[in-house]
Amino acid sequence: MKLTNEQKTKILHDSAIKCDMGGHVVICEKKADLQTNAERMMGNMSYVKNPYKNSYLYLDSVDACFYVEREMACVTFVASWIVGSKDLSISKMEKAIILINKMLLEMQYMINELLEVGE
For residue 43, being part of any structural domain is answered with yes
**Half-sphere CA count of 75, side-chain side, radius 13 A:** 24
pLDDT along the chain (119 residues), means of 10: 93 96 89 88 82 89 93 94 88 94 97 87
49 domain residue, yes or no: yes
In a domain, 33, yes or no: yes
Tell me the CA end-to-end span of the chain in Å, nearest whole number: 7
27 is in which domain, residue-wise? 5-113
Residue 27 lies in a domain: yes
Residue 41: inside a domain, yes or no? yes
pTM of the shown model: 0.92
| Residue 119: per-residue pLDDT | 61
Structural domain total, the chain: 1
Instruction: Classify residue 118: in a domain, yes or no.
Output: no
Beta strand pairing call for 62-69 and 72-79:
antiparallel
For CA atoms 14, 16, 21, 25, give the dihedral sign: negative
